[in-house]
Amino acid sequence: MDKEYARERIHQLKRELLRLNRAYFTENKSLVPEEVRDSLKRELIMLETQFPDLITPDSPSQRVGAPLDAKLPKRKHLHPKESLQDAFSRGDLDDWIDQMKRALGKSDVRFEFETELKIDGLNMSLVYQRSETNQPKAKSQKPIASYVFLRAVTRGNGIEGEDVTHTVKTIDSIPLMIEIPLPYEDRSLPDFLEIGGEVYIGKARLAKINKDLPPEDQFANPRNAAAGSVRQLDPAIAATRNLQMFCYALDSESADALGIVTQKELMDFLHQLGLPLHPGYQVLGSMDAVEALYKNIGKERQSLPYDIDGIVIKINDRRLQKDLGSTAKAPRYARALKFEAEQGAAQILSIELQVGRTGAITPVAHLSPVQLAGTTVTRATLHNEDEIRRQGICIGDTVIVRKAGDIIPEVMEVLENLRPQGSVPFHYPEHCPSCGTTLERPDGEVVHRCPNPNCSGVRRERIEHFASRYAMNIEGLGKETVDALIDGGLITDAGDIFFLTEPELLGLPLYKEKKTENLLKSIEKARKIELERFLFALGIRHVGRETAELLARRLVWNPMSGVSELSPSHIGRIIQEISLETLLSVDGVGDVMAQSLKEWIADEDNQQLLKKLEDGGVRCAMPETSSLAQVFAGKTFVLTGTLPALGREDAKTMIKDRGGKVSSSVSKKTDFVLVGADPGSKAEEAAKLGVMMIEEGEFRGMCG
């Protein structure tokens, strides 16, 4: 998908979802059917998983699950919650396999896949606390470790969720105590077990529930019925709903302590504890077998007693899971394979061009409403001028629309026999819809861009991005406020934010004393910001959150300098002085990003912006550094093969925490190649170049 369209789509989705969620969770109003809101949220999560640098501060996806209900107590998760990345085709799965092989550095690795049905329910964590070890009833019996059910917590924002213990306790299949036989005397079992799963309501039970409810209060689907029931304040109401749960996860710390080495063993262990599991989980040896299972389940989907929206595929070997690790929000070792998209017909009512913060222009079709996968679709991407010409699209055309994976709407085909008389092909405008500047289409790109750095549309988007949650995190500086500030002539760029005064804000519509005070406090707080957040906030093309962190920790900040903070202008000078060769030496920084960074800092307007931010009191704090001895400072490592004890991700963390760098390729500048089992070509390259190769045990000794 075109990234600039994704940005615009995300912007629309998050604004609508915030409005719908506020009405539903705070004002107890349902402005749209539940399936519409749920589908919009799923689409948003998918897009932001694909493009994490497009996340905005008020995005509902940053809560991972639903917003927290103010009426329910909050509980922090013992371990942060992740969401699964979706796949929609065999091609997506093949790409996933290739990505994992590249990440592991082993082109010949063979995977086993553990598969489960993807229950469409409410994500839930069950926490069990260890009690004193029970004594065996007879000498012949082995001792056991007892764990007592402590609480149930919704996924919430991924860090904390709602404590719904009172309603989850009504699920009869969830044991209030679990007992683990102890052939583990030499292992240290944790004090808490955190078990994940989905709470759901069966289809038949939903029909009975709705039969007893007035039409305006009926649930649209089993998933929403489960969510509404779990959040009931009165457990007696939840008890009448016949809630069910399937478990499928155990926190990694506990699984390691128990010596569980495969996903299948993990599921078997949960089953042995008496926890409810879907019995259909299994291990398959090839992607062909996975695809066959997916097709068979798709045929049986409607006959199942509960809703599913696909299957979950996980690498069975937990050591490989650790080596593969996770992105900011999703495990690399798993995918949710969604069922095929629904298709429908809609009429194109109009086409508009949207302006992105990089100047990219995205054409969007406004459609007559069409129901797809339980949602009302009224907009779809047309991608770019080439795609519009290829399909010969006219305003008024009836088109086939589909939502890839039940999520992303797109125009697939024009039904020319239904074209109104007199229709003419849509001609791509030559000028920016925001500022009127002649659009440009750079060589080799399909996207048109507005080259005007002062374009009002681009400027607004850049300021919104600057203030967003993962950037400067200036609360209260959303779209409406940014629009009001620009329209009122109070700001022209992000630097002006730090010169706003109380009288100026009080002159804005709807701005009273308290709102003004809160915004000024948030601006004051943003004057001292983490370096990686600041770099991300600048909105440099191709520099997302992860890249910003890389730049902050590996290139811009010198932990040996003794300086506690940097000014924006100083940061600019450092970036100017970094050579392209140095940039490209950092794992994760490519030619396009490096060139984009150099071009950005060479622009005089951007240099003036940094100076304005500095004059406004903005200072960047040192990134968090490890208290460990920096024994690897200035050293570059390359990893190859499987590390049985550590895992690749743990090894990378150990290197970075001690001041070292991790590169993906071996060169003369490589200091060490950490060699695991079944090493790849990197070991051969290291031998040719005379680079020192070390094994896992030696590496652990070097770490101290």
Strands 636-640 and 661-663: parallel
The strand pair at 528-530 and 619-621 is best described as: parallel
Q: Are strands 375-381 and 398-404 parallel, antiparallel or unpaired?
A: unpaired
pLDDT at 16: 75
Residue 568 is predicted with a pLDDT of 95
Q: Higher confidence at residue 623 or residue 628? A: 628
pLDDT at 526: 95
pLDDT grade for 35, boundaries at 50, 70 and 90: very low
Q: Which residue has the higher pLDDT, 669 or 287?
A: 287
Whole-number percent of the chain with pLDDT over 90 = 37
Q: How many CA atoms lie within 13 A of 605 on its CB side?
A: 10
CB contact at 8 A, 227 and 162? no
pLDDT of 28 over the 60 cut: no
C-beta separation of 293 from 115 below 8 A: yes
**Could you tell me which of 625, 616, 624, 468 has the C-alpha nearest to residue 528?**
616
Give the residue numbers marked as catalytic.
118
Domains and CATH numbers, the chain: 3-11+27-63+341-418 (2.40.50.140), 64-338 (3.30.470.30), 456-526 (1.10.150.20), 530-621 (1.10.150.20), 636-703 (3.40.50.10190)
pLDDT of 26 strictly over 50? no
Tokens standing for 553?
Answer: 């920790």
- Per the DSSP assignment, residues forming a β-bridge with 401 are 344, 411
* Residue 673 binned pLDDT confidence (cut-offs 50, 70, 90): very high
Burial class (CB in 10 A: 0-12, 13-18, 19+), 52: middle
Per-residue pLDDT at 624 = 63
Q: What is the pLDDT of residues 489-539, one digit of tens each?
A: 999 999 999 999 999 999 888 788 999 999 999 999 999 999 989 999 999
Give the list of residues 6+ apart from residue 657 with CB closer than 8 angstroms, or none.
626, 628
Q: State yes or no: pLDDT of 439 exceeds 70.
A: yes
pLDDT at residue 405, rounded to an integer:
45
User: Which two structure tokens, joined as six digits, stand for 365?
Assistant: 């079709």
Q: What is the dihedral of CA 383, 327, 250, 260, to 10 degrees?
A: 120
Cβ atoms of residues 144 and 252 within 8 Å? no
Pairing of strands 408-414, 308-315: unpaired
**Nearest CA among 302, 244, 309, 303 for reference residue 278:** 244
Examine the pLDDT at 65 and tell me if it is beyond 50.
no
Report the chain's mean pLDDT, rounded to a whole number.
84
Residue 199, pLDDT > 80, answer yes
Residue 84 pLDDT greater than 70, yes or no: yes
Question: What is the predicted pLDDT for the residue at 226?
Answer: 86
What percentage of the chain has pLDDT greater than the value 70? 88
Using alpha carbons, list the distances in angstroms from residue 240 to 170, 270, 390.
Answer: 9, 27, 56
* Residue 173: other Cβ atoms inside 10 A: 13
372, pLDDT greater than 90: no
Chain position carrying tokens 């045990």: 697
Distances from the Cα of 61 to the Cα of 31, 40, 85, 125, angstroms: 20, 11, 13, 18
Confidence of residue 584 (pLDDT cuts 50, 70, 90): confident
CB 170 within 8 A of CB 243: yes
380-436 residue pLDDT tens = 888 888 989 999 999 988 888 877 544 468 888 888 878 887 888 888 889 999 899
User: Strands of 672-675's sheet, edge to edge?
Assistant: 661-663, 636-640, 672-675, 692-694
Query: Residue 369's Cα: distance from chain center in Å?
Result: 29
Give pairs for 582-591: CB < 8 Å, separation 24+: 582/555, 583/555, 585/636, 585/663, 585/669, 586/550, 586/551, 586/554, 586/555, 586/661, 587/550, 587/661, 587/662, 587/663, 587/664, 588/546, 588/547, 588/550, 589/547, 589/550, 589/551
List, for residues 132-191, the tens digit of each pLDDT value: 655 555 555 667 788 999 999 998 878 888 999 999 999 988 988 898 877 654 457 889
Tokens 């051969």 sit at which residue? 684
Report the C-alpha gap between 525 and 491 in whole angstroms.
19
Asked if the model's pLDDT at residue 467 lies above 50, the reply is: yes
Between 187 and 204, name the one with better pLDDT.
204
Higher pLDDT, 351 or 417: 351
Q: Residue 224: what pLDDT?
A: 78
pLDDT, tens digit, 9 for 90 and up, residues 675-692: 886 676 788 888 889 899
**pLDDT at res. 611:** 96
Poorest-pLDDT segment among 105-109, 442-446, 530-534: 442-446
Per-residue pLDDT band for 57 (boundaries 50, 70, 90) equals low
In what helix (H) or strand (E) does residue 45 lie, and over which residues does it extend?
Answer: helix 34-50
- Residue 27's pLDDT band (cuts 50, 70, 90): very low
CA angle 31, 33, 35 (to 5 degrees): 135
pLDDT of 193 higher than 50: yes
pLDDT of residue 64: 41
Strand ranges (E), 257-307: 282-284
Tell me the per-residue pLDDT of 646-672, one tens digit each, with 9 for 90 and over. Answer: 777 788 878 877 878 787 788 888 999
**Which of 11-15, 98-102, 472-476 has the lowest average pLDDT?**
11-15
